[in-house]
Chain A
Amino acid sequence: MSALAVQFLNGLASASALFLVACGLSIIFGVSRIVNFAHGSFYMLGAYLAWTFTRGLGWVGYGPLGFWGGILAAALIVGLIGVLIELVLLRRIYQAPELFQLLATFGVVLVVQDVTMAIWGAQDLLGPRAPGLRGAIDVMGQRFPQYDALLILIGPVVLGLLWLLFNRTRWGTLVRAATADREMVAALGVDQRKLFTSVFFLGTFLAALGGGLQLPREPVQLHMDMAIIADAFVVVVVGGMGSVGGAYLAALLIAQLQAFMLLVPDFEIAGLTISIAKMTLIPSFLVMAVVLIARPYGLLGKAPSHARTQASVEPVVRVTPPLLAKFGFATVAALILLPLIADEYGLMVATEILIFVLMAASLHFMMGPGGMASFGHAAYFGLGAYGAALAAKHFDAPMEAGLVAGPVLATLGGILFGWFCVRLSGVYLAMLTLAFAQIVWSIAFQWVAVTGGDNGVLGVWPSIGKTGFFYLSLALAVVGVLLLRRAIYSPFGYALRGARDSALRADAIGIDVKRVQWTAFAIAASFAGLAGALFAYFKGSVFPTYAAIPKSVDALMMVLLGGVQTISGPLVGAAVYMGLHEQLVRATELWRLVLGIAIIALVLAFPQGIAGFAAKRWAKEDGA
C-alpha cells in the first residue's frame, strides 16, 4: 500500500517536471503554429546556465544569486536568447509554408549542440542540490525526497500562474484569442509581431526554467535536448496543442503510467513472456496514438478555427518545363557514366544519395500533393530495411526477394498506420505518424529475439558488386521517382491534390478523401520501404536507428530544404542535404555547427525551398 502511494508521488513529481518543459512548447505552438524543434535546446541551455550560476563559477555556496536566483536568471537569459532567435530568424519566415519553421529550428538545435559543447565541455555536470531540500520526508514509513515533494507543488503552481496570466491580463486575453483564431486577432489591429515575440519569450523562459529545476535531480549533459524533445511533443499533443491545462493533464497521465508500469510483474501469454515493466519506451507513444485516435485534437484541445482554410495558397503544379526535363535527362545520363570517372567512394556516396532521393521523393508524395506531413517517415524506411534483412536472415532470401519483402512489409505498415493517420490532419497527423514510428522503433529496439535489438541484423550484403549495386540503386531510384512523378500528374494525383486543397470540395465531387489519402500514404510507405531495403543491402546491416527520429528528421529536412511545393524539390533537397552533411563531417569536427548555420542561411535565403526558389525565378523570367 505505502509502496503504491509513494509510486503515485513519484508519478506526480515526474509529471511536474514534464509539464514544465511541455507547457512552453504548447503556448508557442498555440499562438505561432511553430513546431519548435529547438525547445529541447532551450531546456538544455537553461540547465547549463543554471549550473554555471549556482556551481560552475567556483564560488562558495550557491553564489551571489543563490540557488533559486540562479535558476531564474538562467531562465531569463535563455528567454532573451529565444527572443533573439524569434527576431532574427523566425519572424522572417512566418509566411513560409507550414512546417518550414521546423527546418529553421532544427538548424538552431544543431548550432546549440556544438556551442554548448564548446562552452561547457563534454563531461556530465552534476548540479547542486536545493538548499534545505537534500533530505527526505516520511510518507507512510517510506522516504520521499523533499525536492521531489517541492516539484509536485511547483507544477500546479506554475499552471495556476499561467492561468492567471491568461485569464486576468489583457496580454493573456490576446494570447488566448490568437490561439483560437490568429486571423481574427490580426483583424482587431493587435500588433501580432509583439505578441509573437512575447509569447516566444515566455515559452523559452519556461523551457529553461524546466531545465534549471532539474539540476537537483539529474546531471546536466549534452543529450538533454534530444531526450526531452520527443517527450515534450507527446505531452503537448496528448494535452491538446495550445492548452496549458491539457499539458498538465497529459503529463500526469504519462508520468503515472510510466511510474506504475514498473510495478507490473511479468506474465505469460501463449508461452510468450510479456514484460510490461521493460517496455519503458512504448507507453508515452502508445498513449499519444490512442488519444489522437479517440480525440483528434488531444484531451483538451480544440479543432483549429475553420477560417484558416487556405493559410498558404499552394502554387499551381505545372507541366515540367522542357529545360528542366532536359536537365533531368542530363543528370541521369551523367549518373550512368559516373562509374567511368568516379572512384569507389564517389560511387558509394552517389549510391547513398540516390537511396535518399527515393526516400525523400516518397515523403514528398504524401507531404506535398498529399498535404500529409510525416514526422515518422523513417518507420517505413526501417520496415523496408528490416523486411529485407529478416527475410535474408530467417529465410535465406536472395537479394531480389529481399528487395520485394522490404517494400511489402513497409506497405503493410503504411496500410495499417495510414488508416489511423488519415483521420487526422496537419500537425496532429504528423504527430501520429511520429507515434507509430516510435512504436516501430521500440519494437525493433526491444524485441531482441527477432530483430537483434540495438545490435541489429548483420551480414545483409548484396549479391552484386559495388558498381552493380550503384546501377541497381540508380535504376530503382529513377524508376521510383518517375513513377511517383507520374502518379502526381495522373488523375489519382489530381484527386489527392484536390483532397488537400479542399476536402469539402473534393467530397462534393465524389472523391473519397480518406481513401485517396490512405492510398497515397501506403504508396509513400512502399517507396520508402524500397529505399530502406536498398539501404539495408548497401550498408550490409540493419539497426533500429534506421527507423529512429533522426532518420525521419533527415527525410523531412530534405523535403523542406528542397521545397515541398515543387516536385523536383525533394531530389534537390536530398542531394544538397546529404552532400553537405557528408562533406562537413569529413571536413570539420564542428560539422553540426556549420550544418546548422548552413540550414539557417538556406532557410532565410529560400523560404520556399531551393527548388521552390528556382521555380519562382523561372516563372518570373517566363512571365517577363
Chain B
Amino acid sequence: MTLKRRELLAGTAAAGVLLGSPTVLRAQNAPIRIGEINSYSTQAAFLGPYRNGWNLALEEANAAGGIDSRRLETLFRDDAGKPEDAVRHAGELVAAEKVDLLAGGFLSNIGLAVAGYAKQNKKLYVASEPLTDAIVWSQGNRYTFRLRPSTYMQAAMLVEEAAKLPITRWATISPNYEYGQSAVKWFKELLVKKKPGVQFVAEQFPALGRIDAGATAQAIAAANPEGIFNVTFAADLANLVRQGNTRGLFERRAVVSMLTGEPEYLDPLADEAPEGWIVTGYPWDQVNTPNHVKFREAYRRRFNDYPRLGSVVGYDTVNAIVTMLRQSRTTDTEKMVDAMEGLKFQSAFGDVEFRKIDHQATLGAFVGKTKLVNGKGTMVDWRYADGKDYLPSDAEVAAMRPKDA
C-alpha cells in the first residue's frame, strides 16, 4: 500500500472547508487554530502517515466537542525542507492567520529554526518529530516542547542492549549531519561509560542520501569489527543492507541500528529486511495495550491502512495539545506554556509527560530484534523502553540548558 498524494489532499480539502466557512461559527466559539509546518514535499514518505495520524486525533477531539465547544483546526504548510521557508510560514501563520500555536517539524534544523522564531515571538511551538538534542537542551527555550524520543534517548536505549553483547570491537556507520554525528557521539560515550573495555575501530560518515554503499561496506569490513552501530535510514539503509548482505558484512557480526524497526524504514526492505539486528522501532501489529489497540483500529477504519510511527507522532502531538488546552482553557501563550510544562497525557503508547525541566516528552520507543516473517521484516523480542528512563540526570540537563530558557 503506497500513500498517495490524494490522501494528503483530502486533509487539505477538509482544512479548506473549515477555512471557507468561518461565518458558520459564532464569534465566541471561534476555532482554535494550530499552525503546522512540515517538509511535506520533501519528506513525504514519513509525513503522509503523520498527517493522517494528526487528522485522526483532530477529528476525535472535535467529535468530542472540541475545547469548551471551540473546534480545533489546523493550517498545514509545506517548508520544502528549507528552514528559511519554515520561518516564513511561521510568520504567516502567526501574523496573518492568527494561529494560537505552532507545531510540526521533521528535520532538526527546521525544528530549531521554528523554535528560534517561537522564542523571539513568544509563541508556543510543539515540535513533533525533530530528533536533535539541541532543541530541548543547548538551544532549549521556554516556548518550545518536543514530543519524540531524542537522538540521545534512542542511543541510550540501544546502548543498554549493546552493552549486554559479549563483544568489544565496534564500528559505526552514520549519515554525515547533525543527527548522525550526535547519535554516534552519544552511542560511543554511553557505551564506553557502561562497558569501559570497548573499542571503536572504524567510523564511516557517508553523506546523507548519497551513500556509496559498496565502498562503505568494504571500508567497515576492512577494520573487522565485531559489532556495527548503524544510523543510516531510508534509501541509504536499503543500499547498505543490499550491499552488506551480498558481501557478508553482517555475518557473524552484531548490528545495532537506530530507527530501523520503524515501519517507514523496515517495510520498503520487504523480503530483504535484515535479521537479528537490534533496533529501535515500532512493531505496530504486535503492540496490544488498550491505548494502542484503540488507536490502531481507529486508524485502520479511517484510512484503510496500518499506522506507521509517523502516524503515532502526528496523533500524539494533537493529543498532547488537546490535553494541554483542556487544562489551560485558554489560548493565551504564557498560560499554555505553563500548562505544557509537566503536562501528562495519554499517548498511543501509554502515559507520557512533558518534563518541566527540559520540555522533553517521555514518549518511548520499542527496542527489539528484526526478523523476517512471511517475507516481511518485523520486530521480535521487543519491549517498550519508556523515555523517562533514558534521559540524563536532572543536574546534567540543567547544565546543558540555557539559564534563560
Contacts and interface: CB of A to CB of B under 8 A. Distances in A.
Interface of A: 3, 6-7, 10-11, 13-14, 113-114, 117-118, 120-126, 129, 134-136, 142-146, 148, 216-219, 221-223, 227, 255, 258-259, 262-263, 275, 277-278, 280-281, 343-346, 348-349, 352, 445-446, 448, 453-456, 458-459, 461, 535, 539-541, 543, 545-546, 550, 582, 585-586, 588-592
A454 B178 contact: yes
20 contacts: A11-B215, A120-B2, A122-B48, A123-B3, A124-B268, A126-B270, A148-B214, A217-B213, A217-B239, A343-B96, A346-B96, A454-B177, A455-B139, A455-B178, A540-B87, A541-B116, A582-B88, A585-B77, A585-B78, A589-B41
**The 4 nearest A-B residue pairs measured at CB:** A121-B2, A122-B44, A345-B96, A344-B95
Contact of B44 (A117, A454, A539): A117
B4 interface: yes
Contact of B238 (A14, A124, A458, A541): A124
Given A122-B44, A122-B45, A591 B108 contact: no
Interface string B210-228: 1011111011011000000
Contacts of B234: 124, 219, 221
B2 A280 contact: no
Given A543-B84, A585-B78, A589-B40, A280 B95 contact: no
Given A124-B234, A281-B207, A6 B218 contact: yes
A218 B246 contact: no
Contacts of B81: 545
Contacts of A346: 96
A448 B222 contact: no
Interface string B282-316: 00000000000000000000000000000000000
A221 B235 contact: yes
Given A223-B235, A589-B9, 10 more contacts: A10-B214, A120-B2, A134-B246, A219-B234, A219-B268, A227-B209, A262-B212, A453-B177, A455-B134, A541-B112
Given A117-B44, A219-B238, A345-B92, A136 B246 contact: yes
A445 B219 contact: no
Given A448-B178, A586-B92, A7 B4 contact: no
Contacts of A143: 246-248
B321 to A, nearest CB: 22
Contacts of B104: none
B96 A145 contact: no
A350 to B, nearest CB: 12
Given A280-B205, A456-B109, A539 B83 contact: yes
A262 B204 contact: yes
B327 interface: no
Contacts of B12: 588-589
A13 B219 CA distance: 16
A540 B114 CA distance: 10
Contacts of B132: 455
Interface residues of B, number: 76
B270 A117 contact: no
A20 B172 CA distance: 31
B62 interface: no
Contacts of B177: 445, 453-454
B203 interface: yes
A280 B246 contact: no
B120 interface: yes
Contact of A281 (B45, B78, B176, B269): B176
Contacts of B238: 124, 126, 218-219
A453 B239 contact: no
Contact of B209 (A223, A586, A590): A223
Contacts of B218: 3, 6-7, 10, 142, 259, 262
Interface string B108-135: 1100110111011000000000001010
A458 B44 contact: no
Interface string B351-395: 000000000000000000000000000000000000000000000
A14 B176 contact: no
A223 B116 CA distance: 28
Residue from the set B4, B5, B81, B139 with the largest chain A CB neighbour count within 10 Å: B5
Contacts of A125: 2, 268
Given A123-B45, A281-B176, A545 B83 contact: yes
B82 interface: yes
A67 B234 CA distance: 24
A255 B214 CA distance: 12
Given A546-B84, A592-B41, A540 B216 contact: no
B243 interface: yes
A105 B120 CA distance: 40
Nearest to A347: B95
B87 A259 contact: no
B325 to A, nearest CB: 25
A389 B81 CA distance: 21
Contacts of B78: 585, 589, 591
Contacts of B108: 454-455
Given A352-B88, A458-B139, A123 B2 contact: yes
A280 B247 contact: no
B206 interface: yes
A429 to B, nearest CB: 26
B344 interface: no
B262 to A, nearest CB: 12
B176 A280 contact: yes
Contacts of A550: 82
A10 B215 contact: yes
B91 interface: yes
B246 A540 contact: no
